[in-house]
Amino acid sequence: MNYRHAYHAGNFADVVKHTVLCRVLVNLREKPAAFRVIDTHAGAGRYDLAGPEAGKTQEWRDGIERLVRAKLADPIRALLAPYLDAVAARNPDGRLTAYPGSPALALSLLRRQDRLIACELEPRAAAALKGEIASNPRAKAIAIDGWTALQAYVPPTERRGVVLIDPPFEQPGEFDRLAEGLTAAHRKWPTGIYLLWYPVKDQAEVAAFARRLARLRIAKMLRVELTLANAGADTGLRGSGLIAVNPPWTLHDELKTLLPVLAEVMSRGPTGAVTLEWLARESAS
């Protein structure tokens, strides 16, 4: 599967992924010590929803547009506020014309002492990313392969933070690379938070991936998935998932509240299916 950020910016998968990322960052902000965000496959940093890529698929209309227009209960809106406020800041006239990628969302929640490393190898996206964040002293854009970056920048000097691993799934074997990359990075930085994104296209493949991760003897891993009944007719993307390694202790309960609402808001027809389960929860022995 080829999952190019520009074509899918703001779709249901982005909404879930970026909601989780923002909740993790909110939690990290609760302690005064600095933290670092490492975005291994960062993309361009910002996407034009009227541009040729996003305009061709229009997937954002069933994702971020539905969420922005939804009538949400106050507790739900409060949990989503860090994410929705960052999106609104990129659309000051109230019209959805731009979508912030994960580097821009991360920057919206960084404090003065926090730092971002955003990595992207594809030349056009890397140039756009550099232009997007170059003026911010807390951020650095690096043109580097994401898998190389994962090993090069872990552990960070801050010793606190989150690594977002969001590959485009252009090549076969990406599930294997995710598992292998996590294993090597976790060995170097076992206390770091890792968010591993993956598409849900083949349920058997996803289930095998989850079983493999569960055998890694990593103490805390939370599986988060949203599959929409009528999604992916054209792209083959039925759903998307995240594996959260060392998630903040509040994340499970927050997502238990949020995921059913997101599934309902972004579904066309029957409400989508939600998976929220611990692959590992006890201390490794």
- Give me 219's structure tokens: 């103490």
pTM of the model: 0.94
In a domain, 285, yes or no: no
Question: Interior CA angle at 279 toward 275 and 284, to 5°?
Answer: 160
Q: Would you say residue 3 has pLDDT above 60?
A: no
* 14 assigned to active site: no
Catalytically annotated residue among 39, 62, 114, 166: 166
The 10s digit of each residue's pLDDT in 81-137 is: 999 999 999 999 989 999 999 999 999 999 999 999 999 999 999 999 999 998 999
Burial 33-67 (b: 16+ CB within 10 A, else e): ebbbbbbbbbbbbbbebeeebbeebebbebbbbbb
The 10s digit of each residue's pLDDT in 42-85 is: 999 999 998 988 888 899 999 999 999 999 999 999 999 999 99
In a domain, 263, yes or no: yes
Report the pLDDT value the prediction gives residue 284, as an integer from 0 to 100. Answer: 44
Q: How many domains does the chain have?
A: 1
Single out the residue of 259, 278, 265 nearest to residue 63, CA to CA.
265
CA 235, CA 57: separation in Å to the nearest integer?
9
CATH number at residue 61: 3.40.50.150
Confidence of residue 182 (pLDDT cuts 50, 70, 90): very high
CA 169, CA 155: separation in Å to the nearest integer?
25
- Give the domain range for residue 216: 5-280
